[in-house]
Amino acid sequence: MDTRSSVRGLAALTFALTLSQFFRSCLAVMAPEVQSDLQLSPAGFGLLSSCFFLSFGIAQIPVGMAFDRYGVGAPTRWLLSLGVVSAGLFALAPNGPTAMLAQVGLGLACAPVFMGLMHFAAQVLPAHQFATSVSRANAAGMLGALCATAPLGWAIHAFGWRAPILAAGVLMAVACWLVAAQVRDSGNVHAQEEGLGAMLGASGRLLFIPALWTLIPMCMALAVGTTFRNSWGGPYLADVFGLSAGARGLALAVLSLAAICAAAALPWFVHRFAVRQTVLAWALAALTAGGALVLLPGAGVLLDIPLLAMLASIGVLHPLVMAHGRLLLAPEVHGRGLGLLNTFVFLGSAAAAWIFGLIADANLASGAAPVAAYTRIFGFACAMVLVGVAAYMLSPSMARAAAGGAKPAA
């Protein structure tokens, strides 16, 4: 594949990533309006949010198998087509169950995008450029999450929440066309020779690689960042501080801008301190911010929003953890291996969104003040990060993984 084709393919996937980030994040700003319009309880909203991440997570291993066998382009464009239909269904949803079905479809549509970007980049870029290049693409893709903050809040104030979702569906159709036109790759030759049973067996054997289990809890801890930035940041700001849709959008824009800056800064840290040290230091900083939020969940927006931004920024470590995991895998199972790790990232997001909803619902039923619910929610988030850090401290160094980590995965 020539350099210009590679650049165009990466650009198309990065544009699709901006749409994926938008759909991951949009519920945070529109949460009160969606809850009111669809008559959802806090637990119902948690379930609505988790539908996206549950389908996203479950799809990762099948999508990874498709990447190994057929390449990135074909599976991605077919699932993006499903996303166009699902965006329309969500925008027109008359009730909660219909909206949940649409969120399942959107989760499936967005499932191949980031993993596809990583898989395609691994094929067309030298190994030493992979982590930094994917981190930069991730930072660019986060512009979609930024659009799902203040701009979306203003649009909701002017047009309601349904019109912006329809517009995003049109843009997803554009992304689908760009991927179809520019991502022209094929699968791995060895994977194409495997039968479906053999591919499933190889995927299952990935769970028996001990080194991957030092990364999996961290993958789930990354969900803390995505869950607050994508869904529960909005309810927190509305319930505790009484912010309107526009003000919530501005506050969540701070979270997205912080995530963009963090993602852009990661290559600098990786160049000087290596991937493993960067992940550990950043996760510990996020854990510290989470601990402060447990103690001061209602201290004030000027203090709590920066703390929430630091806690949520743990999500930008995603490409670094994937780069670490990739070195533990043989080339013919790269797609399935990254799919496995991504499965735990988004199953963690689904579980966190749902559990946060249960905590909020129980607090509402008890008649306690909303701030008490978020003390427990932040405590649960910190527990997830702590477990992730403890496991990741046992992970092999990148150099040791590169030297011998791929052999057990073959």
CATH number of the domain enclosing 225: 1.20.1250.20
At 75, the pLDDT band (50, 70, 90 cuts) reads very high
Count other C-beta atoms under 10 Å from residue 269's C-beta. Answer: 18
Task: Give the pLDDT score at 403.
Answer: 53
163 or 329, which is more confident?
Answer: 163
> How far apart, in Å, do the first and last CA atoms of the chain sit?
26
5 within 8 A of 132, measured Cβ to Cβ: no
Specify whether the CB–CB gap between 134 and 319 falls below 8 A: yes
Count of domains for the chain? 1
Contact, 252 vs 150, CB < 8 A? yes
CA distance 319 to 218: 12
Neighbours of 150 (CB within 10 A): 22
The predicted model gives 336-356 an average pLDDT of 82
Mean pLDDT for the chain overall = 85
What residues have CB less than 8 Å from 298, skipping those under 6 apart?
Answer: 240, 241, 304, 371, 374
Q: How far is CA 230 from CA 126, 145, 226, 259, 305, in A?
A: 32, 8, 5, 12, 15
Q: Which domain holds residue 139?
A: 3-409
- Contact present, 248 and 237 (Cβ < 8 Å): yes
Model confidence at 118, pLDDT cuts 50, 70, 90, reads confident
Rounded mean pLDDT, 350-368: 85
CB atoms within 10 A of CB 201: 11
- The answer to whether residue 14 scores a pLDDT higher than 80 is yes
Separation in Å, CA 248 to CA 66, 133, 253, 358: 39, 32, 8, 22
Q: Which residue has the higher pLDDT, 407 or 44?
A: 44
